[in-house]
Chains A and B, each alone.
Chain A
Amino acid sequence: MMLIQCPHCGARDVSEFTYGGPADVARPADPLATSDAQWADYVYMRDNPRGPHDELWQHSAGCRRWIAVRRNTLTHELIATAEPGKLPPR
């Protein structure tokens, strides 16, 4: 069972949160200059790490704000949480 440290509400049960996917995938800055292959890479391709993973969660049954979470995908250990974009560098 995972307890996620919401930066706004404190430690809460994982069932209060909704998963939102990887946090370290950046949308192409200039859509008009982005090729089809680059779009496909952004939309579909994943690093899928086995270990620390930066991801977005919404505290949907709490403060409803989006947060960034660094979590180990193998052990489910919660390493850090922060406002989106504010996770410390790995």
Chain B
Amino acid sequence: MKYSIVSLLRNAFSHHQQWPLAWRSPAPKQEYDVVIIGGGGHGLATAYYLAKEYGITNVAVLEKGYLGGGNTGRNTTIVRSNYFLDANAHFYEHALKLWENLSADLNYNVMYSPRGVLNLAHSYADLESYSRRGNAMRLNGIDAELLDLDQVRRMVPLLDCSPQARYPLMGGLLQRRGGTARHDAVAWGYARGADSRGVDIIQQCEVTGFRRDGNRIIAIETSRGTIRAKKIGLAVAGHSGQVAALAGLRLPIESHVLQALVSEPVKPILDTVVTSGAVHFYVSQSDKGELVLGGDLDMYNSYGQLSNLPPIEHAVQSLVALFPCFSRLRMLRTWGGVMDMSLDGSPIIGKSPIDNLYLNCGWCYGGFKATPASGWCFAHTIAQDRPHALNAAFTLDRYAQGRTLDERGGGPFAWAH
């Protein structure tokens, strides 16, 4: 059913009791042309574009828990394409272009809000690196504006712009088309779109092993029985190493916990996403009115979706230092998500050493904004058995070939990206 003003009115007469389910919950079939492991945004987007762009509809998405219950529901909903390296810039800009039309494409409101993403500069070195990044972005056709302190003050008047501020400000880099989107709606919209094209979405279905025949996987062992598949796509960021190990693969990935927290809801007060690379902090205001903030990784390997106090304390200290007016807001809740931290900070979307297994992993903390392009490129890679130009650089073998994509020059330390 198409969602529209007409369907809304029609269902109002039945007190909204008759809305059909947005997707089916079928039992798994014995065989599929393509099985996507992981029912988060990336896996569901991949299934959607496989069906929409390539007409491949004999597809299953297997999800261990519930749709969007992993990192899709744990991120802080920011979308942007302010990258320096060409490969990253082109890829994330493709994602942003898909974001701009995603609600209409899916007939599902993902609440994309281009409210601007502002990176604060605290020093001449910050300004230098932001002007370099902004120029690189503009050369790649991406919008970027370098702001001076007056422009920052006018745009975000709540910031402490005084000379005696704890973190003195000198300007910033602004991407106006960046902003936020509603994370749950992205998973649900893609799920509904894929399901309506014939894709089977199978929740509560954990992959427990792979059955190999030579260099191919012929079947997937799951908690709901054995499923044969011609092609298999892995989209389980956070736990990629665990599932890849079932297939005998090692990956250049470490799992780290990243935390976020929200304040009590208040009236609209902050209409821009504000980040500071120097302070390791970012904040935006959700449509519900909560301030959504976060900072750095906990900086050690972790699969625990646990909250630990030191990074929370740092995020709150940073918030109050940059925005003194928020000092009396109470924090409502904190949570942690497990990141696939790749060793160069960039993702892997491409073929694996196993003939019919494809990898989509290593998203670090940039996975949410990539969701549409990730699914789009992964669907192309699986359907055509070769990467699209947009993800050709994101190969697994780039590490051995010395072609790493290290956006900030952090070196081979997963927690430095």
Do B343 and A14 touch (CB < 8 A)? Answer: no
A-B contact count (CB 8 A): 69
Do B304 and A2 touch (CB < 8 A)? Answer: no
Do B301 and A53 touch (CB < 8 A)? Answer: yes
Residues of chain A within 8 A of B304, CB atoms compared: 73-76
- Complex Cα gap A34–B343 (Å): 21
Whether, in the assembled complex, A29 has its beta carbon less than 8 Å from a beta carbon of chain B, the answer is no
Shortest C-beta distance, B414 to chain A (Å), equals 8
How many chain A residues touch B (Cβ–Cβ < 8 Å)?
26
- A19-B299, A19-B300, A74-B303 known; A46 vs B310 contact (CB < 8 Å): no
Whether, in the assembled complex, A50 has its beta carbon less than 8 Å from a beta carbon of chain B, the answer is yes
Do A15 and B310 touch (CB < 8 A)? Answer: yes
How many chain B residues touch A (Cβ–Cβ < 8 Å)?
26
Residues of chain B within 8 A of A1, CB atoms compared: 308-310
- Complex Cα gap A19–B254 (Å): 13
- Using CB atoms, name the residue of chain A closest to B244: A48
Do A46 and B253 touch (CB < 8 A)? Answer: yes
- A40-B400, A73-B301, A73-B304 known; A48 vs B310 contact (CB < 8 Å): no
Chain A 6-27 near chain B by CB (<8 Å), digits 1 or 0? 0000000011001101100000
Q: A interface, by DSSP: helix, strand, loop or mixed?
A: mixed
Residues of chain B within 8 A of A30, CB atoms compared: none
- CB-contact partner of A55 in B301, B308, B309, under 8 A: B301
Residues of chain B within 8 A of A50, CB atoms compared: 239, 242, 255, 303
Do B306 and A76 touch (CB < 8 A)? Answer: yes
Residues of chain A within 8 A of B253, CB atoms compared: 46, 48
Whether, in the assembled complex, A33 has its beta carbon less than 8 Å from a beta carbon of chain B, the answer is no
- Sample (14) of A-B pairs whose CB atoms are under 8 Å apart: A21-B413, A21-B414, A44-B399, A45-B250, A45-B252, A46-B250, A46-B254, A47-B241, A48-B301, A55-B300, A71-B300, A73-B255, A73-B301, A75-B304
B residues near A (Cβ < 8 Å) are 239, 241-242, 250-255, 299-304, 306, 308-310, 343, 399-400, 412-415
Known: A50-B242, A50-B303; 7 extra A-B contacts, CB below 8 A, are A19-B415, A43-B399, A46-B250, A48-B241, A48-B251, A53-B301, A74-B304
